[in-house]
Structure 1
Amino acid sequence: MLESVVASSAKKKSNSKNMTTNDVVLPDGYHPADDEEFMNELQLAYFKQLLETWKQEIIDESKETLAHLQDGPIQEADLNDRASSETDWGLELRTRDRQRKLTSKINAALQRIEDGEYGYCQVTGEPISLERLKARPIATMTVEAQEAHERNEKISRDQ
C-alpha cells in the first residue's frame, strides 16, 4: 500500500501546498483513482467536499437533537417509560458528544488539506491509500502505521 518513499512524498506535499481547492469543480461521478497523481487538485477537492458534507450532516443532526431537548422535559407518566426515555436521551447525548469530537477531527483534516498535508501519514510521511481515505477521510496514518500505533498502545496498556 505504501506508494513511495518519504523523500518523494515530501516533494509531492510541497507541490500540493500551492493548490487551492476553492475553485475546483468536480466532474459528475468523480472518484479518486490510483492512476492519477496522488492528491492532485481533483482529489483534494473531492475529499474537501466529502469532509464538508459529513461535517454539515453532523451539525444538522445536532440541531435536531437540540430542538428535541428544547421541546421540554420528558412527560412520561409511567416510571418505566420515563426511565427508558431518559436512557434513550443519555445515549443520544453521548452520540452527539462523540460527533462533536469527530467534528474537530474533520476540521483538522480540512486544515491539512489547506496546508497541503492531507493524505500523507503523520508518522512516516508516506501517502495514505485512497481506499483508506475513502473509508475514513479523517485518517492521519497509513494502515501499517496505525497497526503499529495500536500494537504499541496495547503493549503500554498491558504493562
Structure 2
Amino acid sequence: MALTKKELAAFEAQLTAWKEELEESQNDTMHQMHEQETTAFPDPADQASAETDLSFDIRIKSRELKLIHKIEETLYRLREGDFGICDACGGDISVKRLQARPVTTLCIDCKTEQEQAEKTRID
C-alpha cells in the first residue's frame, strides 16, 4: 500500500509546518534567554525556583531540538522515497499510524515487538 502523491505532499506540508513552528519556538526562547538579566534573588528559595524553571525550559527545548532532527530525517526519507516504509521489516507503515506519528520509522507490529523486548529487558 504505497502512499499517493497527494498523501505524500500532505505529509511533507505537515512536517515542514511543524518543523518551522518548533524552530520559531527555539529562536524565541533563545532570544528571551539572552535578553533576561541574570537575576540574583535575595531569597534562596526564589533563586532555586528560578533555576528549576530554567532547567525545565532547557530540557523542553532539548527535546524539541531532537524532534526537529527527527522531522528533518523524515523529510529526507520522504524525498528519497523511503517514507512510510518500516525500518525493521521493510513493510508499509499504515497511513493511520503515519497520521498519528509522522516521524515514525516502524510499523505497528515492529514497534510493539520492540516495546515488548524493552519491557522484557527492564523486568
Matches within 5 A, 1:63-142: 63-71=27-35, 72-142=37-107
| Structure 2 residue aligned with 1:144 | 109
**Residue identity in the other structure for 2:111:** Q
| Structure 2 residue aligned with 1:6 | none
Q: Deviations over 1:2-49 (max 9, x none)?
A: x6xxxxxxxxxxxxxxxxxxxxxxxxxxxxxxxxxx311111111111
Relative contact order, CA 8 A, sep 6+: which one is greater? 1
Using the size of structure 1 for normalisation, the TM-score is 0.71
- 2:8 equivalent among 35, 44, 47: 44
Runs of 4+ off more than 2 Å: 74-79, 153-158
The offset of 1:83, in angstroms, is: 1.4
Q: Deviations over 1:66-116 (max 9, x none)?
A: 011111213544322221111111001011111111111111100110110
Equivalent pair of 1:74/1:86 in contact (CA under 8 Å): no
| Structure 2 residue aligned with 1:21 | none
Same amino acid, percent of matched pairs:
32
State the distance in 1 between where 2:5 and 2:92 align: 15
Using the size of structure 2 for normalisation, the TM-score is 0.90
**Residue identity in the other structure for 1:80:** A
RMSD of Structure 2 on Structure 1 (CA): 1.5
State the distance in 2 between where 1:123 and 1:141 align: 7
Question: What is the aligned length?
Answer: 122
